[in-house]
Structure 1
Amino acid sequence: MNERTTEDLLTAWTALLTRCGAAVDPEPYGRELLRRWSEPQRRYHGVDHLRAVLRHVDDLAAHAADADAVRLAAWFHDAVHRPDRTENEERSAALAHRALTGAGLPAGRVAEVERLVLLTVTHAPAPGDRDGEVLCDADLAVLGGSPEAYGAYAAAVREEYGFVPEPDFRAGRAAVLRALLALPALFRTPAASARLEQPARANLQAELATLQGVPKATL
């Protein structure tokens, strides 16, 4: 882990946990989380993704009921990430429970963080779940980036799943894209919906066409 590139994150983590009432020194917990986020198998789900999600949470914080619970969930939502294994979100939620309970945070807030982390399995918050809407929109915000940024994201995802044969990856990835496109809305907060919904759908449709081998001239 390059400490020079993560010092801003460690500072933000320490301030967050202190603000949330930690009864212990937050720094060791932060360093362990950053070690996890810097694991070599990560190509997309790494430190840059964590930083981006936290930035989007800040942008959408006014919509949240408990913005700091959402920030904590952002720190843990991909803290366990092994592309060759399942139940990463469940393992991440369990890690959040252990770490935040050990840090002395109130049980109610710990439970809310666990719930939010598990919500990233489906990215389908219930109507009125303002914290869930903020976390899910922040996590999916990459879908609404410029075509170039989206292309870099898609390439990084392919690298993470480099062990999967190309035909299998194309089929699986296409299924994910179709499921996203079938959602009535990708984004739930008004700000993210207005800014990201249309470019995200265009990016998803373009990637799906590429996976299906549709010539660009027919798009």
Structure 2
Amino acid sequence: MTPALEAAYAQPHRRYHARSHIEDCLALLAGQSDLSDRDRRLLEYAIWWHDAVYDPTRSDNEEASAEMARRDLLATGEDAASADEVARLILLTKGHVVPPGDRLGALLVSIDLAVLGGEPEAYDAYAAGVRHEYRHVPDDLFRAGRARVMRHFLDAEAIYPDPAFRDRLEARARANINRELAGLSA
């Protein structure tokens, strides 16, 4: 981890999008046994940088994070093709839509969204962390915006593009989201 990444993930406004989220994602990646060394390295880089820029008042966090990753990786001697692939993967975390056949993209997006399929207590802590990060938004506007985002996940054919994550987490993610939506409308 670079000093810039360490500082980014330690920003005081972060509650969910902090170092612990990165560590959780890296632990899930470690459980993937069928990756080449290069693919694992690219996914590790994408995990480290995917939330490097996180300002809840901006709409271009993923683009800025991808550019930071590209710049930092090139500065450390990584080849341009790898830096470009990491940037591409990071951009997938914006809409969480992965083209068919994109295994690395499916893994990254599924790992990033794994919290949605967590135990209810973990999901509630995640939702509370996100609310804290958006504390500048009035409650009624936050509820409406959050509900719109969460309905987007429910409207998708599958939340998790990776089949193994889908098999393991999809049902619980949908239950968690439905429970949160009920609370948002109360």
TM bin, normalised by shorter chain, reads over 0.9
SS in 2 for 1:192: helix
Partner of 1:52: 24
Q: Which residue of 1 aligns with 2:185?
A: 212
Find the aligned partners of 1:140 and 1:178 in 2 and give their Cα distance.
14
Query: Residue 115 of structure 2 is aligned with which of 142, 158, 164?
Result: 142
Q: Please give the TM-score of this superposition, normalised by the length of structure 2.
A: 0.95
Aligned position for 1:123: 96
Structure 1 outlier segments of 4+, above 4 Å: none
The structure 1 residue matched to 2:135, chosen from 162, 174, 188, is 162
Aligned residues: 185
Counterparts of 1:22-33 in structure 2, within 5 Å, are 30-33=2-5
TM-score (norm 1): 0.81
Q: Distance in 2 between matches of 1:90 and 1:130?
A: 21
The CA deviation at 1:60 is 3.1
Matches of 2:91 and 2:101, distance apart in 1: 17
Q: CA deviation at 1:115?
A: 0.2
Distance 1:189 1:97 in 2: 25
Amino acid at match of 2:5: L
SS of residue in 1 equivalent to 2:17: coil
Residue type at the aligned position of 1:37 = Y
One-letter identity of the residue aligned with 1:201: R
Aligned to 2:121, the other structure's residue is in SS state helix
Measured after TM superposition, the shift of residue 34 of structure 1 is 1.2
Q: What stretches of structure 2 of length at least 5 have no aligned partner?
A: none
Question: Once the two structures are superposed, what CA deviation does each residue of 1:28-69 show, in whole Å capped at 9, x if it has no partner?
Answer: xx2221111111110110010010111112223526781211
2:10 is matched by which residue type in structure 1? S
Q: CA deviation at 1:91?
A: 0.4
User: SS at 1:62's partner residue?
Assistant: coil
The 5-angstrom pairing of residues 37-186 of structure 1 reads: 37-60=9-32, 62=34, 66-186=39-159
Q: Could you say which structure has the larger radius of gyration?
A: 1
Question: CA separation in 2, counterparts of 1:137 and 1:103?
Answer: 28
Q: Which residue of 1 aligns with 2:173?
A: 200
